[in-house]
C-alpha cells in the first residue's frame, strides 16, 4: 500500500507554492459570465459541450431513422446523410467528449483535488472557454451556410473532402469545419497549459504526485497528450484550408473530376491520413484516460476500498499515453501501407493491451470483496468496465492487419468504436455527474430518475451496438445511407436495423429524463451536505459546499496521505480524508 498512514517523522514541508492572487469579481458579469473561477468555467464548458452534444444526438436519430426505415423520410437524402454522419462524429469526439472531460471535469476537479485555489492563470483559462464557444458557433454556422455542413466524414479525408461531389466540399461546409477546428485547438491550448501547470506546479503542501487521485492523473496525462497531438490536426487543417481556398496541392494529387482535369497535382493524400491519425489515435485516449481516472475513483469510493495497485494504475495511464503516439497507422491498414509497417503498428497496438488489461484487472480487484454500494455513480462505473472490456476485445480483432482488412469500413468498426470511445466514456460522464453534482450544487440528483436513466441507457446501448457487430460481420459497410437490394445482405439485417433504430430513439429520449433531473434537482434535490459519499479526496473537504471562489477559505489544506484510505482498520471512520493526519494530532505533523 502506498502512503497509507503518515509516519511519525513525516514532516510536511513549508509552503513553496505561493498563494494565488485571485481576481475578485466586482460585478454580476465578472462573477457569472466572464468569470475567472475555474469552477464557473467548468460549468460553462460542460453546458456548452452538452448543448452541442444534443445536436449530435439528434443527428444520430436522423441517421438511425434512415438506416432503420430507408426510403421513409424523403428529406434525408444521401447528401444529408453524409452531413449527419460527419457532424455527428466530429461533434461527439471533439466538441462534446474532449471539451467535457478536459474543459469541464478538468477545470472543476483539478484545482480542488490538488488543493489549489484556482488554475494558475485564471484569465487565460477564461479565454479558453470563450474561444471554445467561438469554435462551437462557427461549427453551428456551417449548418446554416449555403450548401450545408461538410459531408466528408469525421476523418475529412482528402481529396474527396474538398471536391464538389462531397456535400460542403466546394461550398462553405468544409471551410467552416476547418476554421472551427483551428479555433478549437487554439482555445484548448490556453486551457490545457493551465491544467498541466496547475498539476505540476500548483499543488498544495503534502500533495505529492503519487498522492493525487487517479482522476487528476487521467486528466493530466490526457491534457499533455492533447497538447502534443492537436498540433498535427492543426497543421492538417491549415494545409487543407490552403488546398481548398488558395488552390495549393498539399493533399491533392492530379485529378479528373466529371471529365475535367483539376488544377491540383502532386500532393499526398496519405500525408493527411498520417497527420490526422497522429492526432486521431491519441484522441481516443484523450477521452479514455480521464474516464479511466474518474472510474477508478468512483469504484474505490463506492466500494469503500482502496484502489488496487495505485502505482501500477498511474504507470499504466502514463504508459498508455506514451504508447498511443506510436500506433496511429493501425487506422491506415487499407491505405496501401508497406506490410512491414502494418506489422510494426499491429505490434505496438497489441502492446497497449497490456497496460490496459492491467487497469481492468485492478478495477476488478478493487471491487473484489469490497463493500459495494450500488449507487447510481457506481452503476455507471460498473457499466463502464463491462463496456470498455467489450470494446477492447473487438479492438484486438481490428488491431490485427489480416482481420482488419475485411472488417475495415464496415459497421463492425462503427460498433467497436462506439463501445470503446462512445458508450464507455459517456457512461463515465454520467457517473461522474451523479457523483460530483452534490459538490457543485449542494444537492443530490434524484436517485429514482437516476436509476431509470441508468438502466435504459445501459441496456439500450447494448441493444443498439451489439447487433451492429453482426451487421458489420456480414459485410454492411459504414457511411452508407441505404443498402438497397444487395444480394449478400440477409433479411435479418433489415430487421435488426429497424430494431436498432427503435432502441436508439428510446435511449435518446431517456437522456431527457437525465436533463430534467439536473434542472429539477437544483431546487428539489435532497440536501447533500459537504461529503455525501464519505469520500477522501480534497474536493469533499472544502469548508463550504458548493466551494466558493478560491475554494479553501483562509488556509489551503495540508495533505497527509493518498486518496484511497477507505476501511482502514482501527480508523475512527471507514474513510480518512487526505487532509486528516490520523493517527497523529494535527499540529505536530504540520510543523515545517
Partner 1 sequence: MAETTLNGFGAKAARESGLRGVAADWASDQRAFKSASWGKAMMWIFLLSDTFIFSCFLLGYMTVRMSTVEPWPNTSEVFALHIGETNFPLLLIAIMTFVLISSSGTMALAVNYAYRRNRAVTIVFLLCTAVLGATFVGMQAFEWTKLITEGVRPWSNPWGAPQFGATFFMITGFHGTHVTFGVIFLLIVAYKVWRGHYDRGERGFFTSRRGDYEHVEIMGLYWHFVDLVWVFIFAFFYLW
Between 226 and 255, how does the x/- string for binding to partner 1 read (CB under 8 A)?
-xx-xxx-xxx-xx--x---xxxxx--xx-
Considering only residues 377-416, where is the footprint of ligand HEM by CB under 6 A? 414
Residue 477 β-bridge partners: 410
Which candidate, 483, 474, 510, 418, places its Cα nearest to that of 69?
A: 483
138-143: which pairs have CB atoms within 8 A and are 24 or more residues apart? 138/176, 138/179, 138/180, 138/183, 139/52, 139/87, 139/90, 139/91, 139/95, 139/176, 139/177, 139/180, 140/52, 140/55, 141/176, 142/87, 142/168, 142/172, 142/173, 142/176, 142/177, 142/180, 143/87
Dist CA 591 CA 14 (whole Å): 8
In terms of CB distance, is 84 or 250 closer to partner 1? 250
**Per-residue mark of binding to ligand HEM, 181-220 (x: CB under 6 A):** ----------------------------------------
Determine if 421 is a binding residue for ligand HEM (CB under 6 A): yes
Considering only residues 261 through 300, tell me which ones interact with Cu ion, judged by CB under 5 A: 281
Choose among Cu ion, partner 1, ligand HEM, none what residue 203 binds, the Cβ cut-off being 5 to 8 Å by kind. partner 1
Contact call for residue 475 and ligand HEM (CB under 6 A) = no
- C-alpha–C-alpha distance, residues 324 and 328, integer Å: 7
Among 155, 268, 400, 567, binds partner 1 (CB under 8 A): 268
Cβ proximity to ligand HEM: between 229 and 589 the closer is 229
Which of ligand HEM, partner 1, Cu ion, none binds 508 (CB below 5-8 Å, type-dependent)? ligand HEM
Rg (CA), the chain: 24
341 binds partner 1 (CB under 8 A): no
Q: Show the binding pattern over residues 106-145: x = contacts partner 1 (CB under 8 A), - = does not.
A: --------------xxxxx---------------------
Please report the sign of the dihedral spanned by the C-alpha atoms of residue 179, residue 184, residue 187, residue 188: negative
* Nearest approach, Cβ of residue 501 and ligand HEM (Å): 8
Binding partner of residue 548 among ligand HEM, Cu ion, partner 1, none, CB cut-off 5 to 8 Å per kind? none
Alpha carbon dihedral 131, 133, 136, 137, in 10-degree steps, equals -100
Does position 359 interact with Cu ion (CB under 5 A)? The reply is no
Please list the residues that pair with 257 across neighbouring strands: 260
SS3 of 231-278: the string is HHHHHHHHHHHHHHHCCCCCCCCCCEECCEECCCCCCCHHHHHHHHHH
For residue 89, state whether it binds ligand HEM (rule: CB under 6 A): yes
Binding partner at 281 among partner 1, ligand HEM, Cu ion, none, C-beta below 5 to 8 Å by kind? Cu ion
Count residues binding Cu ion (CB under 5 A).
1
Give phi and psi for 329, each to the nearest 5.
Answer: -75, 5
> Which residues of this protein are in contact with ligand HEM, per CB under 6 A?
57, 60, 63-64, 85-86, 88-89, 92-93, 97, 153-155, 414, 418, 421-422, 426, 464, 478-479, 504, 507-508
> What residues make contact with Cu ion under the rule CB under 5 A?
281
Amino acid at each position: 500500500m502506498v502512503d497509507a498512514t503518515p509516519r511519525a517523522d513525516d514532516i510536511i514541508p513549508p509552503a513553496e507554492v505561493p498563494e494565488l492572487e485571485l481576481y475578485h469579481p466586482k460585478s454580476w458579469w465578472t462573477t457569472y459570465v466572464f468569470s475567472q473561477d475555474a469552477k464557473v468555467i467548468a460549468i460553462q464548458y460542460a453546458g456548452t459541450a452538452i448543448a452541442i452534444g444534443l445536436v449530435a444526438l439528434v443527428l444520430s436519430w436522423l441517421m438511425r431513422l434512415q438506416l432503420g426505415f430507408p426510403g421513409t423520410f424523403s428529406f434525408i437524402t444521401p447528401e444529408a446523410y453524409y452531413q449527419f454522419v460527419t457532424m455527428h462524429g466530429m461533434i461527439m469526439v471533439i466538441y462534446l467528449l474532449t471539451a467535457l472531460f478536459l474543459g469541464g471535469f478538468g477545470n472543476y476537479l483539478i484545482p480542488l483535488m490538488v488543493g489549489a485555489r484556482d488554475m494558475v492563470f485564471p484569465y487565460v483559462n477564461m479565454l479558453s472557454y470563450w474561444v471554445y464557444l467561438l469554435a462551437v458557433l462557427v461549427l453551428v454556422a456551417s449548418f446554416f451556410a449555403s450548401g450545408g455542413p461538410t459531408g466528408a466524414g469525421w476523418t475529412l479525408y482528402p481529396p474527396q473532402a474538398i471536391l464538389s461531389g462531397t456535400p460542403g466540399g466546394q461550398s462553405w461546409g468544409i471551410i467552416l469545419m476547418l476554421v472551427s477546428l483551428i479555433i478549437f485547438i487554439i482555445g484548448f491550448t490556453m486551457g490545457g497549459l493551465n491544467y498541466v501547470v496547475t498539476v505540476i506546479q500548483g499543488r498544495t503542501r503534502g500533495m505529492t504526485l503519487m498522492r493525487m487521485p487517479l482522476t487528476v492523473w487521467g486528466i493530466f496525462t490526457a491534457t499533455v497528450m492533447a497538447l502534443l497531438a492537436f498540433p498535427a490536426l492543426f497543421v492538417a487543417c491549415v494545409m487543407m484550408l490552403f488546398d481548398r481556398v488558395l488552390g495549393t496541392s498539399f493533399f491533392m494529387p492530379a485529378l479528373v473530376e466529371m471529365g475535367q482535369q483539376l488544377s491540383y497535382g502532386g500532393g499526398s493524400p496519405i500525408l493527411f491520413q498520417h497527420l490526422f491519425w497522429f492526432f486521431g489515435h491519441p484522441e481516443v485516449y484523450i477521452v479514455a484516460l480521464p474516464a479511466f481516472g474518474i472510474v477508478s475513483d468512483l469504484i474505490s469510493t463506492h466500494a469503500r476500498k482502496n484502489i488496487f495497485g495505485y502505482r501500477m494504475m498511474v504507470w499504466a495511464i502514463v504508459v498508455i499515453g506514451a504508447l498511443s503516439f506510436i500506433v496511429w497507422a493501425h487506422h491506415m491498414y487499407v491505405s496501401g501501407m508497406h506490410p512491414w509497417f502494418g506489422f510494426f503498428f499491429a505490434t505496438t497496438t497489441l502492446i497497449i493491451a497490456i497496460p490496459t488489461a492491467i487497469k481492468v484487472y485492478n478495477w476488478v480487484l478493487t471491487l473484489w470483496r469490497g463493500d459495494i454500494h450500488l449507487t447510481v455513480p457506481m452503476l455507471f462505473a460498473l457499466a463502464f468496465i463491462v463496456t470498455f472490456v467489450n470494446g477492447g476485445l473487438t479492438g484486438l480483432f481490428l488491431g490485427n492487419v489480416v482481420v482488419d482488412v475485411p472488417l475495415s469500413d464496415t459497421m463492425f468498426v462503427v460498433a467497436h468504436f462506439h463501445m470503446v470511445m462512445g458508450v464507455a466514456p459517456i457512461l463515465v460522464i454520467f457517473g461522474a455527474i451523479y457523483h460530483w453534482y452534490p459538490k457543485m450544487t449542494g444537492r443530490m440528483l434524484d436517485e429514482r430518475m437516476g436509476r431509470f436513466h441508468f438502466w435504459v441507457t445501459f441496456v439500450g446501448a447494448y441493444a443498439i451496438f451489439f447487433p451492429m457487430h453482426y451487421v458489420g460481420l456480414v459485410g454492411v459497410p459504414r457511411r452508407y445511407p441505404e443498402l438497397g437490394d444487395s444480394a449478400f445482405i440477409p433479411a435479418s439485417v433489415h430487421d435488426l436495423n429497424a430494431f436498432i433504430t427503435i432502441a436508439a430513439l428510446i435511449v435518446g429520449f431517456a437522456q431527457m429524463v437525465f436533463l430534467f433531473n439536473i434542472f429539477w434537482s437544483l431546487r428539489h434535490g435532497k440536501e447533500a451536505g459537504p461529503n455525501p459519499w464519505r469520500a477522501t479526496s480534497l474536493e469533499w473537504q472544502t469548508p463550504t459546499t458548493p466551494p466558493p471562489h478560491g475554494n479553501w477559505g483562509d488556509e489551503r489544506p495540508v495533505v497527509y496521505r493518498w486518496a484511497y484510505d477507505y476501511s482502514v482498520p482501527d480508523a475512527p471512520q471507514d474513510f480518512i480524508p487526505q487532509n486528516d493526519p490520523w493517527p497523529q494530532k494535527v499540529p505536530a505533523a504540520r510543523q515545517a
